């Protein structure tokens, strides 16, 4: 009797264990059925960095694989020609400033006195020429002792000396009055144009340094010191660190199981037990044929939807093109 009781208890325990195992396995299968597993590749934003100016590269300051900060100088061009041009512009500015100061300060006292002396000399010469002409006119009128040609020559000389005296008086008046406002304004405009040109050249000089637009990693170093650079010749390829994502593709039958903002885990082969946290950030609105790089067991002609799962990668583990598994 006692043996039968033991056998019954063992049987009941065995049945209870089987039921527990069946329920646990069913729960695991249900959880697995609810989890969506997708495979894809890592994408990052890349920037091609090129100089705005065309010249020979003087120095390269970073190597492929280096992590750089925003604003960090990566390379420099040879700026000797531009520096000489800026030196010439500065000299022209100094000359124009001196000319403008001369106009603004007016005529010196010594120059006014010299202009007054020139007026007196011109007036004296005009008076002398007029006296000669008057005497010859009197001789010609009284006895016709000179020819008409001599008389005409004396008249022309008197008129010329009188014109010179008038011109000397105008120069004296101009010296006393100083420069006209129009001349000062024109000189100021010329000076401003030179200063603007110097500012433009100074800005171009800053463009002779190639700087990182954002923090990132130098993926490729395409040119070397001594190469000719220009807007159409990138020097580096920079991978940005601010946003990475895994590009996966979802069948239409599974599309209703995901939505933007949904949490996800990203696994890579080198860290199978340390997933990265991410979230669904983009779901395509139209279907497309499965790309050849997508690892699926279905036919390649099946229509799928592109999904981007954005990943937090503070340690910069993910690399462009790296295969990854996403579980949502």
Whether residues 253 and 316 fall in one domain: yes
> Residue 117: what pLDDT?
79
Q: What CATH code is carried by the domain that includes residue 271?
A: 2.40.30.170
Residue 301 lies in a domain: yes
Q: What is the pLDDT of residues 241-258, one digit of tens each?
A: 777 888 888 888 888 888
Q: Given a cut of 90, is residue 166 above it in pLDDT?
A: no
Q: Are residues 178 and 89 in the same domain?
A: yes
For 141-165, the pLDDT digits (tens) are 776 667 778 778 878 888 888 888 7
Contacts of residue 63, Cβ cutoff 8 Å, sequence gap at least 6: 218, 221
Q: Rounded distance, CA 111 to CA 323, Å?
A: 87
In this structure, is residue 12 part of a structural domain?
Answer: no
Question: Could you give the residue ranges of the DSSP H alpha helices within the chain?
Answer: 2-34, 80-105, 109-142, 148-177, 181-206
Q: Are residues 216 and 70 in the same domain?
A: yes
- Alpha carbon 168 to chain centroid, angstroms: 58
Q: Band of the pLDDT at 32, cuts 50, 70, 90?
A: very low
Asked if 276 and 319 touch (Cβ cutoff 8 Å), the reply is no
Residue that the structure tokens 């139209």 belong to? 286
Indicate the number of domains in the chain. 3
Answering whether pTM is above 0.75, one says: no
User: Residue 289 sits in which domain range?
Assistant: 35-44+242-327
Q: Give the integer Cα–Cα distance in Å for 113 and 120.
A: 11
Q: Are residues 297 and 224 in the same domain?
A: no
In the predicted model, what is the mean pLDDT of the chain? 81
Q: Which of 203, 225, 256 is the last residue of a domain?
A: 203
Distance CA 276, CA 157 (A): 105
Cα 55 to Cα 242: distance, rounded to the nearest angstrom: 32
What pLDDT digit, counting tens, does each position of 301-311 carry?
Answer: 467 888 888 88
Residue 194 in any domain: the answer is: yes
Q: In angstroms, what CA-CA distances link 22 with 10, 16, 29, 32, 117?
A: 18, 10, 10, 15, 127
By CB atoms closer than 10 A (0-12, 13-18, 19+), residue 151 is middle
Same domain? For 110 and 255 the reply is: no
- Report if residue 259 sits inside a domain: yes
The answer to whether residues 208 and 51 touch, using CB atoms and an 8 Å cutoff, is yes
- Residue 268 makes CB contacts below 8 A (sequence gap 6+) with 276, 317, 318, 322, 323, 324, 325
Query: pLDDT digits over 57-71, tens only?
Result: 999 999 998 989 999
Domain shared by 263 and 314, yes or no: yes
State phi, psi for 162 to the nearest 5 degrees: -65, -40
Question: Higher model confidence: residue 33 or residue 99?
Answer: 99
Do residues 116 and 183 both lie within one domain? Answer: yes
What distance in Å separates the CA atoms of residue 70 and residue 212, rounded to the nearest whole number? 5
Q: For position 27, what pLDDT does the model report? A: 47
Q: Does residue 282 belong to any structural domain of this protein?
A: yes
One domain for residues 246 and 280: yes
The answer to whether residue 222 sits within a structural domain is yes
Domain-located, residue 140 = yes
Judge if 65 and 159 occupy the same domain: no
Report the CATH number that the domain containing residue 59 is assigned in CATH.
Answer: 2.40.50.100
Contact 252, 305 (CB under 8 A): yes
Question: Who contacts 249 (Cβ-Cβ below 8 Å, separation ≥6)?
Answer: 38, 40, 290, 291, 294, 296, 304, 305, 306, 307
Of these ranges, 42-56, 137-151, 292-306, the one predicted with the greatest mean pLDDT is 42-56
User: Is the domain of 224 the same as that of 275?
Assistant: no
Q: Which two tokens stand for residue 252?
A: 């239409």
Query: Helix (H, G, I), strand (E, B), or coil: what is residue 5?
Result: helix
* Nearest alpha-carbon partner for 305 in 323, 321, 280, 286: 286
Which two structure tokens, joined as six digits, stand for 52?
């705005």
**Higher pLDDT pick, 97 / 13:** 97
Q: DSSP letter at 233?
A: B
Helix axes 80-105, 181-206, angle to 10 degrees: 160
Q: 99 with 174, same domain?
A: yes
Q: Which residues partner with 298 through β-bridges?
A: none
Domain finish residue from 189, 221, 236: 236
Residue 2 covered by a domain: no
Task: Identify whether the C-beta of residue 207 lies closer than 8 Å to the C-beta of residue 53.
Answer: yes
Q: Are residues 149 and 88 in the same domain?
A: yes
* Range with the poorest average pLDDT among 3-7, 139-143, 178-182: 3-7
Bridge partners, 239 (sequence order): 46, 217
């Amino acid at each position: 009797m006692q043996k039968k009781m033991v056998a019954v208890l063992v049987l009941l325990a065995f049945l209870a264990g089987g039921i527990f195992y069946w329920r646990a396995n069913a729960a695991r299968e249900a959880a697995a059925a609810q989890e969506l597993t997708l495979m894809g590749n890592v994408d990052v934003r890349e920037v091609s960095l090129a100089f705005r100016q065309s010249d020979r590269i003087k120095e390269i300051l970073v190597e492929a694989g280096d992590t750089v900060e925003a604003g960090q100088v990566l390379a420099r061009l040879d700026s000797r020609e531009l520096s000489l041009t800026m030196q010439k512009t500065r000299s022209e500015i100094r000359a124009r400033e001196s000319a403008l100061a001369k106009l603004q300060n007016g005529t010196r006292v010594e120059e006014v006195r010299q202009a007054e002396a020139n007026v007196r000399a011109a007036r004296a010469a005009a008076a002398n020429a007029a006296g000669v002409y008057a005497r010859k006119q009197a001789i010609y009128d009284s006895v016709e002792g000179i020819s008409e040609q001599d008389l005409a020559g004396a008249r022309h000389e008197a008129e010329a000396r009188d014109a010179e005296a008038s011109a000397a008086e105008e120069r004296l008046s101009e010296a006393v009055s100083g420069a006209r406002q129009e001349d000062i304004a024109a000189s100021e405009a010329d000076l401003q144009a030179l200063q603007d040109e110097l500012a433009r050249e100074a800005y171009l000089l800053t463009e002779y340094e190639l700087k990182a637009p954002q923090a990132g990693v130098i993926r490729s170093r395409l040119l070397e010191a001594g190469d000719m650079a220009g807007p159409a010749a990138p020097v580096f390829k920079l991978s940005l660190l601010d946003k990475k994502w895994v590009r996966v593709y979802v069948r239409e039958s599974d599309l209703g199981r995901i939505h933007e903002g949904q949490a996800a885990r990203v696994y890579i082969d080198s860290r199978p037990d340390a997933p990265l946290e991410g979230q669904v950030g983009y779901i395509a609105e139209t279907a497309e044929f499965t790309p050849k790089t997508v690892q699926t067991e279905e036919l390649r002609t099946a229509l799928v939807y592109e999904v981007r799962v954005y990943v937090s990668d503070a340690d910069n583990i993910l690399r462009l093109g790296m295969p990854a598994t996403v579980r949502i």
